[in-house]
Amino acid sequence: MLDNQEYKVLARKYRPQTFAELIGQNTLVQILTNSISSNRIAHAYLLTGVRGVGKTTTARLIAMSLNCQNKKTETPEPCSKCESCTSIKSDHNLDVIEMDAASKTGVDDVREIIDNVKYKPVNNTYKIFIIDEVHMLSKNAFNALLKTLEEPPDHVKFIFATTEVKKIPITILSRCQRFDLHRINNVELTDYLEKVCKLEKVKINSDALALIVRAADGSVRDSLSLLDQAIANHQEVITSKTVIEMLGIADKGKIFELLEYIFEGNAIESLKIYNNLHKSGADIIMIFDELLNAVHFITQIKLAPSLENDISIPELERTKGRAIASKLSMRSLGIVWQVLFKGYKELQAGFHLYQHGEMIILRLIFLYDGPSPEDLLKKIENTDESTPIKNKVDISENLSKKVNENKTVNFDIDKNNNKKNDEYMQIASYRKFVDLFYQKKEGMLHSYLYNNAKLISFKEGKLILNTTLIKDPHFNRTIAKLVSKWTGRIWQIESSTSNIGKSLNEEDIINQQKEIEKMKGHPDIKKIFAAFPGIKIHSITEIGETSDDIIEETINNKEKEN
């Protein structure tokens, strides 16, 4: 006889029936069980977290525990077998009312609840209202609920669930006990899925399991749904290939191989692998998403080598990641991440995605193809000590020209992790910072910095200015780009609306006024003021600041007068 029983998906089949079965929420479980055991039950709970971490399940468990007819006094766990528990699980308990705020958002829907509050429960101890996606309620609906939520009857409990707690008014939040349900970490989720596979008598490779866990992103429901789909697709054993084809993601081995060719500067092989990934069915955006994930993982393993022993990460990724991380510097990884992320955002709203993807890969490869700063410094340092200074300057200038003429850049190979930072031009003060733009013949920018920009904060590598008088929206970026190029280090230029600072022009005027006042007290100047009433000191100029011709002309004039 055929079994006509309806198939139940894994996410419903393995829904937790007790607090002990909730995974990854130990703090929540401890607080709830203690409060129920000690009968210190709040009149309203708010459960928040990402999708699939157990918000609605927890709400039902609370309702089952409070209304369980066979619950033992020493434990908060519901029996799951009495009439109350079974009716709550099957969603037809008259005293436990679930409402989906996504479909019932208006004030009339809330008024229904308010009108229902005054009636006592039919068969249970408490009348419990579970409102899912509560952030979808309208402003008027929230306002209508306020008074009832603050002082409900003793027999009424409210349980709210939401994925976007920031959209809930603070007046509602202050009336609830809030619990934040966390994403489930990869280790716990992997262990849980392994148990489910054993119960379902399904064989699955560890790499395939790791791919499902990563795609689930901390959501138990998503992981069970993906596992359900993988079980339906497999023959004997679920392999990583099955999951890759199912999710439409790129083969991780190919992704790391693509990165290796990019770092080697091999454009032909890089584009060949990219083409093969595309032909195998991988989505273009997913390819670059995987490239971003891979670069992030390589950066992690460079910072924390202990990740090599994390069994929740596929062995292939650990091996490849370690090999690439040992060859690259953090600076190169940062540059690759920035270029990839910018390209990934372009693809989101782009057209001709395949061609666009090729150009992003080429952009990565042809960033730079010249000697590194370290090589240039070594060449200068190794120049013969007896070489005249002028020749050394010429050598340095020629090397700099070669760098500027190159259109492509090689990634730095990190041969020594303990290598000191590259040498760079240091700027001791803001005035020297501004003078640098004058020296580099950037007259307009120098004028803006001297007259219009007000200094708020200055330290090596970071500058905060009040630029409200400067209309150019790209001013900070232009300044940062130029000074970074000139000094050989990254500068951050930030804007502030603070008025505590002054421009250099204002400072110079104030300082000169002080000097003038000081000079007025000089005996010789007092005699001049007495001899020529009504005269004023307009400015003070150092004699060294005038040209030789002016000095000579002044001397000649004095001789003629004598």
Q: Quick check: 407 pLDDT over 70?
A: no
Residue 45 is predicted with a pLDDT of 93
pLDDT-derived band at 312, boundaries 50, 70, 90: low
Report, as an integer, the average pLDDT of 423-428. Answer: 78
Confidence tier at 409 by pLDDT (50, 70, 90): very low
Say how far apart CA 339 and CA 336 lie, in whole Å: 5
Above 90 in pLDDT, residue 185?
Answer: no
At 381, is the pLDDT very low, low, confident or very high (cuts 50, 70, 90)? low
- Per-residue pLDDT, averaged over 467-479, amounts to 86
Nearest Cα to Cα of residue 190 among 218, 210, 216: 210
230/17 Cα distance (integer angstroms)? 25
Among 410, 254, 260, 409, residue whose Cα is nearest residue 326: 260
CA gap 505, 513 in Å, rounded: 12
Rg (CA), the chain: 36
**Strand locations in 261-305, DSSP E?**
none
Q: How confident is the model at residue 127 (pLDDT cuts 50, 70, 90)?
A: very high
The yes-or-no verdict on residue 46 having pLDDT over 90 is yes
- The 10s digit of each residue's pLDDT in 255-306 is 888 998 888 888 899 999 998 888 877 788 888 888 998 899 889 888 888 8
Q: What sign results for the dihedral spanned by CA atoms 309, 314, 319, 320? A: negative
Average pLDDT over the chain, rounded to an integer = 80
The pLDDT of residue 72: 77
Domains of the chain plus CATH, in order, are 10-180 (3.40.50.300), 186-247 (1.10.8.60), 252-278+285-365 (1.20.272.10), 373-405 (no CATH), 430-504 (3.30.300.180), 516-561 (no CATH)
Tell me the pLDDT tens digit for each residue of 194-245: 999 998 888 888 888 888 888 888 899 999 998 988 888 776 788 888 887 7
- Over 50: is that where the pLDDT of 404 sits? no
pLDDT in tens, 448-468: 888 888 888 888 888 888 888
The pLDDT score that the predictor gives to residue 418 is 41
Of residues 62 and 349, the one with the higher pLDDT is 62
Residue 369 confidence (pLDDT)? 47
| Dihedral sign, Cα of residue 194, residue 196, residue 202, residue 208 | negative
Of 448, 539, 440, 432, which Cα lies nearest the Cα of 495? 448
Question: Residue 383: its pLDDT value, please?
Answer: 52
Q: Are 469 and 449 in contact (CB under 8 A)?
A: no
pLDDT score for 386: 47
What mean pLDDT is predicted for residues 78-86?
87
The model carries a pTM of: 0.57
CB 335 within 8 A of CB 365: no
